[in-house]
Chains A and B, each alone.
Chain A
Amino acid sequence: MEVKLNEEELGLLLNDLMEVHGYDFTSYAKASLRRRVNRLMSLDKFPSFAEFRYKIKSDSSYLKRFVEEITVNVTEMFRDPSFYAILRTKILPQLATKPFIRIWHAGCATGEEVYSMAILLQEAKLLNKSLLYATDINPDVLEEAQKGIFQLNYMKQYSENYVASGGREDFSSYYTANYDRVIFKDQLRSRMIFATHNLVSDSSFNEFQLIMCRNVLIYFDKDLQERVFTLFDNSLEPLGFLALGSKETLRFSAIESKFQQVKDQKIWKKIE
């Protein structure tokens, strides 16, 4: 039978990560976290929890792998096309009036959403006055994101998403294909800034007109969600927007009253 963590072992592990390495995963939602840890122990064929724990305590290169595998980095370009259609038709026209646009992609993983946003801005002729700050807890995925290189076999799906979001250009004009990979145009990348940022422990670092944080909060417990909402509130200009994932909500949070939901969308406008 596979090695599976019990509650106590998960507690020990989270404690080690905090004491030895300064990573605080204690406010992550437990069901998903436990599943990710079990999956990693099984992938890397650890015969017991004790050995797994020892490896994490003593081997900093394995810690890197742990953080990368424990956090979920699944994402796609123009995911939820209807969301991007609203960005295109309702949100960007409001941002267009600003002299300068700063957007924060919090928990950007391998960057697919950042590139999607850059394409939207380019088509709205706003890219040159925009900066896209893309952050993640995990330095390795940021390194990937920064390269702008993605697998060719995903492009068909992304292209369909793009068209469904209201895109009218030829999606393939945004990248150059080479064997089984594609690289996105330098022009898109030129307005992106990548940096590590841990939503658990790091504070606000700028004021933004739009914060995108989609499918990140589902991995956090209620208290941490609340802390992150406060961080976002502190990082948004008045009348700025916060965009969440399709199953996430500001409803019932302490900052809800300061925001107004864009009709039927997971987008909230800061009204005070």
Chain B
Amino acid sequence: MEKDRVNIQRVIIIGGSAGSLEVLLEVLPQLKHDLKIPIILVMHRKATAESTLVNLLSSRTSICLKEAEEKEHIRNNCIYLAPADYHLLFEDDLSFSLDYSEKINYSRPSIDVSFESAAEVFKDNLVAILLSGANSDGTNGLREVQQRGGLSIVQDPATAEVSFMPRSAVDAKVADKTIAVTELANFINQL
């Protein structure tokens, strides 16, 4: 574990809301098994949704996929899902922190909260990807990612089932690049 900790070069964080589950179900099976980097998923969902989403997502990939635990150290070649009804934050020692403070953008977990915290910790090693959704969560987070030197990617609104969320980021000019769903797995595999 110590070794993985030192070796973390890049981190991908993906935020999504309505319409983004389908994107993940399509992208996950296409990811290469020996992905060298960690991926963190922050998905809006009902507070009561327990382990079903982890089970569903992990059935689509051979990469280890689990819920992020409080104080757990982030490892390469692992996909983490932010737990329902908590904000997910990042500590300087590259571990997860949970926070049950007020909802942001009517959401907990909030994508803005996780993107902003990840940007502070991972700076220019961060790649943040915002998917389909029906509110503007994520836009402020992407701005922070850019300001700290990270790469800000937005799902091409034309390919989003619900385009409000990616559209909001594009309109706010916080997207370095838009990517179609069909290109997403390839993009991640080449990072």
Partners in one complex: yes
Known: A35-B113, A36-B101. A222 touches B89 (CB 8 A): no
A2-20 with Cβ < 8 A to chain B: 7
B69-110 contact mask (Cβ, 8 Å, vs A): 1 or 0: 111000000000001001001111000011111100000000
A123-167 contact mask (Cβ, 8 Å, vs B): 1 or 0: 000000000000000000000000000000000000000000000
Question: Given the complex, which residues of B lie within 8 Å of A30, measured CB to CB?
Answer: 91-92
Contact (Cβ within 8 A) A218 B70: yes
Question: Given the complex, which residues of B lie within 8 Å of A34, measured CB to CB?
Answer: 120
Specify which of B71, B83, B100, B117 is in contact with A35 (CB 8 Å cutoff).
Answer: B117
Question: Given the complex, which residues of B lie within 8 Å of A74, measured CB to CB?
Answer: 100-102
Say yes or no: is A29 at the interface (Cβ < 8 Å to chain B).
yes
Closest to A81 in B: B48
Specify which of A1, A32, A245 is in contact with B101 (CB 8 Å cutoff).
Answer: A32
Question: Given the complex, which residues of A lie within 8 Å of B116, measured CB to CB?
Answer: 35
Which of B83, B97, B116 has most A Cβ within 10 Å? B97
Specify which of A29, A31, A247 is in contact with B69 (CB 8 Å cutoff).
Answer: A247
In the complex, what distance in Å separates the CA atom of A219 from the CA atom of B89? 11
Say yes or no: is A72 at the interface (Cβ < 8 Å to chain B).
yes
B66 to chain A, nearest CB (A): 13
A3 to chain B, nearest CB (A): 14
Contact (Cβ within 8 A) B70 A32: no
Known: A72-B101, A218-B97, A219-B99. A35 touches B89 (CB 8 A): yes
Question: Given the complex, which residues of B lie within 8 Å of A219, measured CB to CB?
Answer: 99
Say yes or no: is A215 at the interface (Cβ < 8 Å to chain B).
yes
User: 6 additional contacts, CB 8 Å, given A31-B89, A32-B89, A247-B83?
Assistant: A30-B91, A31-B92, A35-B89, A35-B99, A35-B117, A218-B97
